[in-house]
Amino acid sequence: MSGQKPRTLFDKIWDAHVVETLPDGTALLYIDLHLTHEVTTPQAFDGLRQAGRRLRRPEATLGVIDHNIATDASRYTGIVDPESRVQVETLERNAAEFGMPLIPLLDQRQGIVHVIGPELGRSLPGMTIVCGDSHTSTHGAMGALAFGIGTSEVEHVLATQTLLQKPAKNMKVEVNGTLPLGCTAKDIVLAIIGRIGTAGGTGHVIEFAGDAIRALDMAGRMTVCNMSIEGGARAGMVAPDETTFDYVRSRPMAPKGEALERAIAYWRTLPSDPGAQFDTVVRLEAGDIAPQVTWGTSPEDVLPITGLVPDPEAAEDEARREQMRRKMQYMGITPGQRLQDLKVDVVFVGSCTNSRIEDIRAAAAIARGRRVADGVRAMVVPGSGLVKAQAEEEGLDRILREAGFEWREAGCSMCLGMNPDKLTPGQRCASTSNRNFEGRQGPGGRTHLLSPAMAAAAAIAGHLADVRDFQPKGTV
């Protein structure tokens, strides 16, 4: 390969999957893994049916039910909401008719699509991975090119196992140094979005690099890549390394033995070459990051927990001033208020951003030996049945329940208002999810995005709180 132009991780995965490039640069890409869920597949399967087509590669497709389901015992007695029930039953019927592998709702491996892909060892380094879901970027943490697609593209991939894609620009977000006490991957990615804004990554695929990213475990890398979409990027990724390979080794559906070793030898060739060109480079110092929390209705409305609600009058132009006033009115907050004084009604630990075992351990470490404040409803929703089982084996459910948290079944839950777990109008929620726009967690609900440890601290305090004031009691 000597003499070849140095390439980025993204370039390499792209090049390895191009079936054909059109004159305008658009490429037909081969897709290694197509994940599906109940929300964005019904019309796609209808389209196939009408055209008399089958699935091109059922074995490269995996379905799971996650958005529309209850996370309490009522999941065992059937879905009450008719629209939700129809979506779930439609996916089940389509999977049976088209021979698509589907994880049944009551299977222990069921969970949020972006949690189970890596967890089961289906999402692997070097792959192209798509799903009719914007947070498919999560799987980029494996060192894969993973992005969300629309329903018509879902149909295209089901029928052909390929996808037309315009080339993206390369962006590097480098985070160096050591994260201070109390800070996590969630704080890194919120700080990045605070810096670049929700449009900062537009047209780019972000590679997260630097020693603070290298130091993250796979769960942390997934949290960061998950939210790259909230920074406007097409996808986010982290180059595969020993942390990645160790993670893959223990996954049930990952290659084993000789096949795995051969795969690892290939995966070692994927990291960006020295001298590879990035169109945009952003650098952050991990040491400057403090525990983050959003105050407004966009993930870029983020501040350190020690901050004050900003003053719209200080904004540069009238349009922004007006926008900020509206956000504050919706959020029920006033300029100059201490973020730490904002009382919370609900605390949600879950979603594909933060529902892995590491996230639950982080919440339990703060909850241990403490009590959820009076009047606060706090819930922990594991990202999958396997995460739930692991947490129970570690006794985390007991710690959380004793502290007054609800311990639920796996699903998207209160991340979005599509199932029974919803905020009621005016409720304020400390949430480990990734979106905080108006009504996201239920009509009129007010969302503050933060890390699992920060969420647990808010549950105990009854208001947004600085996790650094809540050091763990004993070990979990």
> Can you give the binding site for ligand SF4, defined by CB under 6 A?
66-67, 112, 114, 133, 135, 351-352, 412, 415-416, 433-434
Integer Cα distance of 430 and 342 in angstroms: 10
Is 225 annotated to bind ligand?
no
Is 412 annotated to bind ligand?
yes
Say how many C-beta atoms besides its own lie within 10 A of residue 246's C-beta: 11
Establish if 133 lies at the interface with ligand IPM (CB under 6 A).
yes
Establish if 350 lies at the interface with ligand IPM (CB under 6 A).
no
Residue facing ligand IPM at closest CB distance: 134
Establish if 428 lies at the interface with ligand IPM (CB under 6 A).
no
Establish if 135 lies at the interface with ligand IPM (CB under 6 A).
yes
Q: Which is nearer to ligand IPM, 133 or 397 (CB)?
A: 133
13 interface partner picked from ligand SF4, ligand IPM, none, CB below 5 to 8 A per type = none
Integer Cα distance of 449 and 112 in angstroms: 19
> Which of 467, 470, 471, 193 has its CA nearest to residue 306?
467
Judged by CB under 6 A, the number of residues near ligand IPM is 8
Integer Cα distance of 27 and 48 in angstroms: 23
Q: Which is nearer to ligand IPM, 118 or 126 (CB)?
A: 118
Q: Where are the beta strands (DSSP E) in 108-248?
A: 128-131, 145-148, 162-165, 169-176, 204-209, 235-237
298 interface partner picked from ligand IPM, ligand SF4, none, CB below 5 to 8 A per type = none
> Which of 314, 309, 311 has its CA nearest to residue 333?
309
Establish if 44 lies at the interface with ligand IPM (CB under 6 A).
no
Piece of the chain touching ligand IPM by CB under 6 A; list 131-139, 208-216, 396-404, 441-449: 131-139
The amino acid that residue 203 corresponds to is: G
φ/ψ region of 182 (left if φ > 0, alpha if ψ in -120 to 50, else beta) reads: left
Establish if 411 lies at the interface with ligand IPM (CB under 6 A).
no
Min dist. Cβ of residue 136 to ligand SF4 (A) = 9
Which residues have a Cβ under 8 Å from the Cβ of 460 and sit 6 or more positions away? 366, 367, 370, 371, 372, 373, 403, 470
Token pair 């869920």 in the structure block, residue? 37
384 interface partner picked from ligand SF4, ligand IPM, none, CB below 5 to 8 A per type = none
39 interface partner picked from ligand SF4, ligand IPM, none, CB below 5 to 8 A per type = ligand IPM
Establish if 140 lies at the interface with ligand IPM (CB under 6 A).
no
Integer Cα distance of 143 and 166 in angstroms: 20
Q: Which is nearer to ligand SF4, 133 or 301 (CB)?
A: 133
Q: Which is nearer to ligand SF4, 384 or 434 (CB)?
A: 434
Establish if 355 lies at the interface with ligand IPM (CB under 6 A).
no
Integer Cα distance of 463 and 374 in angstroms: 11
Q: Which is nearer to ligand SF4, 210 or 442 (CB)?
A: 442
Min dist. Cβ of residue 449 to ligand IPM (A) = 13
Please answer whether residues 328 and 296 qualify as being in contact, where contact means their C-beta atoms are separated by less than 8 angstroms.
yes
Establish if 148 lies at the interface with ligand IPM (CB under 6 A).
yes
Q: Where are the beta strands (DSSP E) in 24-183?
A: 27-30, 33-37, 61-64, 102-103, 128-131, 145-148, 162-165, 169-176
Establish if 29 lies at the interface with ligand IPM (CB under 6 A).
no
Token pair 């904004």 in the structure block, residue? 315
Q: Which is nearer to ligand IPM, 111 or 126 (CB)?
A: 111
φ, ψ of residue 173 to 5 degrees: the values are: -115, 110
Is 415 annotated to bind ligand?
yes
Residues in the chain, overall count: 476
Integer Cα distance of 94 and 165 in angstroms: 26
148 interface partner picked from ligand IPM, ligand SF4, none, CB below 5 to 8 A per type = ligand IPM
Integer Cα distance of 328 and 55 in angstroms: 48
Establish if 139 lies at the interface with ligand IPM (CB under 6 A).
no
Q: Which is nearer to ligand SF4, 32 or 66 (CB)?
A: 66
Say how many C-beta atoms besides its own lie within 10 A of residue 283's C-beta: 12
Min dist. Cβ of residue 37 to ligand SF4 (A) = 8
Integer Cα distance of 287 and 285 in angstroms: 5
User: Out of 416, 423, 461, 464, which residue is the one contacting ligand IPM (CB under 6 A)?
Assistant: 416
40 interface partner picked from ligand IPM, ligand SF4, none, CB below 5 to 8 A per type = ligand IPM
Residue set of the binding site for [4Fe-4S] cluster: 352, 412, 415
Which residues are near ligand IPM by CB under 6 A? 39-40, 67, 133-135, 148, 416
